[in-house]
Structures are given as structure tokens and as C-alpha cells.
Amino acid sequence: MMVVAVRVGQGFDVHPFCDRDAPGPRALVLGGAVFEGELGLVGHSDADVVAHACADALLGAAGLGDLGSHFPDDEPALAGADSMALLAEVARRVRSAGWEPVNVDCSVVLEYPVLAPRRAEMQRRLSGAVGADVTIKGKRPEGLGALGRREGIACWAVALVARP
């Protein structure tokens, strides 16, 4: 009988929305999908909370630290970085460490925008970057706390990796 080693990692990320009066509007990017006309999130990269949580979950599962240790938020070269490219690089590093991503599951907590119309696109983009299935669930905070007051968006993710 072949024994397969598996590990689980948890990821989390949260970003506040940009100030509506701030100069230079920023696009809202979630799971690699651009939500036109929606207020963007504050962050050093493109602030894609879904991609960041997925990356942290994968890194944790592989025992490789966290996203900030690989891509510091004070690194000028990463200003405005495409988080999907960072996620793809994380998946590459996970594989280089001898682990194969099996799947990632995400819960995105937000009052708006509604994710359901874009869920398939987000899952396709994230799955392509990871090279394994990524699933997304949208959850409303029902008006509770900062997320319920529409001050930002958070995402929790769990990843499974395997090594034969």
C-alpha cells in the first residue's frame, strides 16, 4: 500500500476599501476578476484578498511561511503587483518544496459586491494560477462589524497539499 503524506494550511487576508475621495481610483480585484465600477481595496499590491488568502494557505500547508515573508509589502518592486502572478509563483514554490496542491477552499466575507455572478470566473482564474481546484463561497456579515459596515473585505482559505 502506498502512503501519501498530506498537509493542510490556513490562510487569511483582509483589506479596507479605498477612500472614495482618494486621488486615482483603484479597481476592485477579487480572485483575479476585476469588478468594474466598484471601489477598490487598499494594499501594496492589487490588494486581491482572495488570491492572498489562497497563497497564505498554500504556503502554510507546505511549511513555507507566509505571503509577507516571500513578497514583503515594503518592497518597491512589488507596488501594484498582480496578486494572481504572486499566487502562481507561490504554487511553483510549493511544488519546488515537493508538495502538490490538491485543492483550496475560500470563504469571502463582504457586504458587496455580490460574488455569485462572477464566482465561476474567479474559480477558473484561481484554479489556473494554483494548478488545482479552487472553490469560493461568498458570505455576508449581515451588517455586523467593520465588514458589515462595508469598510473592507476579508477572506479565509484552507489548502490541502500532498506528497507521495
3-state secondary structure the chain: CCCCEEEEEEEEEEEEECCCCCCCCCCEEECCEEECCCCCECCCCCCCHHHHHHHHHHHHHCCCCCHHHHCCCCCHHHCCCCHHHHHHHHHHHHHHCCCEEEEEEEEEECCCCCCHHHHHHHHHHHHHHHCCEEEEEEECCCCCHHHHCCCEEEEEEEEEEEEC
**Whether 119 contacts 138, CB under 8 Å:** yes
Q: pLDDT at residue 2 above 70?
A: no
Cβ contacts of 18-23, under 8 Å, gap ≥ 24: 18/42
Q: What is the pLDDT of residue 23?
A: 66
d(CA 97, CA 115): 33
Could you give all domains of the chain from N- to C-terminal order, each with its CATH number? 5-163 (3.30.1330.50)
Report the pLDDT averaged over residues 102-114.
Answer: 97
Residue showing cell 473592507: 152
Q: What is the pLDDT of residue 1?
A: 59
When the pLDDT of each residue in the chain is averaged and rounded to a whole number, the result is 94
d(CA 43, CA 51): 13
pLDDT per residue as tens digits for the range 3-21: 679 999 999 999 999 987 7
pLDDT per residue as tens digits for the range 28-70: 999 999 999 899 999 999 999 999 999 999 999 999 999 999 9
The structure's pTM equals 0.94
